Structure 1
């Protein structure tokens, strides 16, 4: 079992309506720094992205930001990070974030956060990577999504073994523990056991 030393965080570029989201995003950054886990994130200095980066930086953590050039005007790049990588496209952003990270966590966010999360869990399902993918359910933010994912299983459209690949926890400490214990399935989706 390989220790996870670098985690990509997907989250909102806004703060949301509850102060708990910013507080917990900052706390996530703090915990990653204290655990010696490198933070890889979207490179912005605003919203929950900025909060998680600042939380890590304030506690001596290593922070790598990856931001598309066209988003600089909207998300405003964070110039205080350890390393800032500017790319051309959203696809390049995700590819480079994936290259730098050994695990994935989604904090509260909108469409972009969900798109990033589901692409990474789909890649894992297909065996394109073996990294743990986690959902940090801050303040019950993802309760309805978790219920919907379970509904997919009930309706026979998602296998239980693939559902189990998405790690869920209410605290960052619990989620990191689950990620450190995670072992990817031996048989990716679409490969029958008798084919290997």
Structure 2
């Protein structure tokens, strides 16, 4: 197997129906490119908003999709019954653990506090050498600029190491983000 061949990318992204159309298009492009590379997708299991867009596009391109959703969110996030595998778990902690276990790389698209919580946990685990999988932040339009500035300030104050900052790959386009997932 060559680098990046047949990998599963865990995607974290927004699930609210109020996100701008451009983010739905971004999520769909990620799904299409995952499929075009012959990869599979693991995501939060919802069929609305960005979650639904990434999963639908991945499936339409022939990618295998594994959704992981807590029982309490099955109705709220409208569980994607078209997933190849839809894993219904008890808690958010169970969800994150399964999403991490299924992923060979982690890609965060624009999102809110749930997306941030998921990416911070998997990024922290990488920094602590609990895994060596790529953690990639796709910042297409400065969505995460304020966060990145705050993290740089935390580094200047001695709270975040240079190693930690360097362990998070920040990209501005889908192709570069997915290339980073394969490294």
5+ long unaligned stretches in structure 2? none
- When normalised by structure 2's length, the TM-score is 0.94
Task: Determine if contact 1:12/1:109 at 8 Å carries over to the other structure.
Answer: yes
Deviation at 1:179, TM superposition (A): 2.9
Q: How far apart, CA to CA, are the structure 2 residues paired with 1:22 and 1:70?
A: 24
Picking from 162, 168, 186, the partner of 2:164 is: 162
Shift of 1:129: 0.9
Aligned partners of 2:9 and 2:181 also within 8 Å: no
Give the 3-state SS of the residue equivalent to 1:139 in structure 2: coil
8 Å CA contact 2:45–2:69 kept in 1: the answer is: yes
1:145-171: CA deviation from partner (whole Å, max 9, x where unpaired)? 111111111222111111100001011
Other-structure match for 1:142: 144
Q: Which structure would you say has the larger Rg?
A: 1
Q: Does 1:3 align with 2:4?
A: yes
Aligned 8 A contact 2:36 2:61 in 1: yes
- RMSD, aligned α-carbons: 1.4
CA distance in 2 between counterparts of 1:28 and 1:91 reads 25
For normalisation by structure 1, the TM-score amounts to: 0.88
* Superposed displacement of residue 122, structure 1: 0.6
Cα distance, 1:70–1:119 mapped onto 2, change above 3 Å? same
CA 1:106 to 1:53, structure 2 compared with 1: closer, same or farther past 3 Å? same
Partner of 1:191 in structure 2? none
The runs of at least 4 aligned residues of structure 1 exceeding 6 Å deviation read none
CA distance in 1, matches of 2:181, 2:100: 16
Task: Name the CA distance, whole Å, in 1 between partners of 2:93 and 2:33.
Answer: 28
Structure 1: state its 5+ residue gaps.
182-196
Measure how far apart 1:16 and its partner are: 4.1
The match for 2:92 is 90
